């Protein structure tokens, strides 16, 4: 399976609706792997347009801080737009922030939203920024090499 086919499968899974044409609830699709800034994540579609993204293999800079299985994103689809909460890691812990996004024709899911600015001494949120690396997250479909 080539990258374009993988992207098409991911796009179809992410954009799938919550009901079939006959009105019966649709079963959630199988999970899909994606890459995010050097981490391998799993996109897990759920019922009624819900989606959860969890870490499978965090990038080396997160080792010992973010464990496999940690939830990175939870959200739901409204037509072709994802509204979600990201749980971003900071040395003080995980901080939630709101994002929105969509899937491009290549199957890349991109979400954007202002990230919390954390005072590491007090662990308080002191502001919000659209310019941090985590303000734009792109989940690139990934296929394991054989």
Asked if the structure places residue 136 within a domain, the reply is yes
Measured distance CA(86)–CA(13) in Å, rounded = 20
Asked if the structure places residue 133 within a domain, the reply is yes
Number of neighbouring beta carbons within 10 Å of residue 37: 15
Asked if the structure places residue 79 within a domain, the reply is yes
Asked if the structure places residue 30 within a domain, the reply is yes
Q: How many CA atoms, within 13 angstroms, populate the side-chain half-sphere of residue 116?
A: 21
Structure pTM?
Answer: 0.77
Give the domain range for residue 101.
3-141
CATH number of the domain where residue 35 is located? 2.40.128
Asked if the structure places residue 101 within a domain, the reply is yes
Structure-model confidence comparison of residues 21 and 142, the more confident one: 142
> For the chain, what is the domain count?
1
Asked if the structure places residue 83 within a domain, the reply is yes
Please write the tens of the pLDDT for every residue from 110-122: 999 999 999 999 9
Asked if the structure places residue 146 within a domain, the reply is no
At 10, the pLDDT band (50, 70, 90 cuts) reads very low
């Amino acid at each position: 399976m080539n990258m374009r086919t993988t992207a098409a499968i991911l796009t179809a899974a992410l954009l799938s609706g919550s009901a079939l044409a006959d009105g019966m609830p649709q079963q959630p699709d199988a999970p899909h792997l994606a890459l995010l800034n050097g981490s391998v994540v799993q996109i897990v579609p759920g019922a009624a347009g819900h989606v959860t993204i969890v870490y499978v293999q965090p990038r080396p800079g997160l080792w010992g801080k973010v464990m496999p299985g940690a939830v990175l994103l939870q959200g739901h689809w409204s037509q072709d737009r994802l509204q979600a909460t990201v749980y971003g890691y900071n040395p003080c812990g995980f901080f939630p922030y709101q994002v929105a996004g969509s899937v491009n024709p290549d199957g890349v899911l991109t979400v954007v939203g202002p990230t919390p600015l954390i005072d590491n001494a007090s662990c308080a949120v002191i502001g919000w920024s659209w310019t941090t690396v985590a303000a734009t997250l792109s989940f690139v479909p990934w296929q394991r090499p054989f």
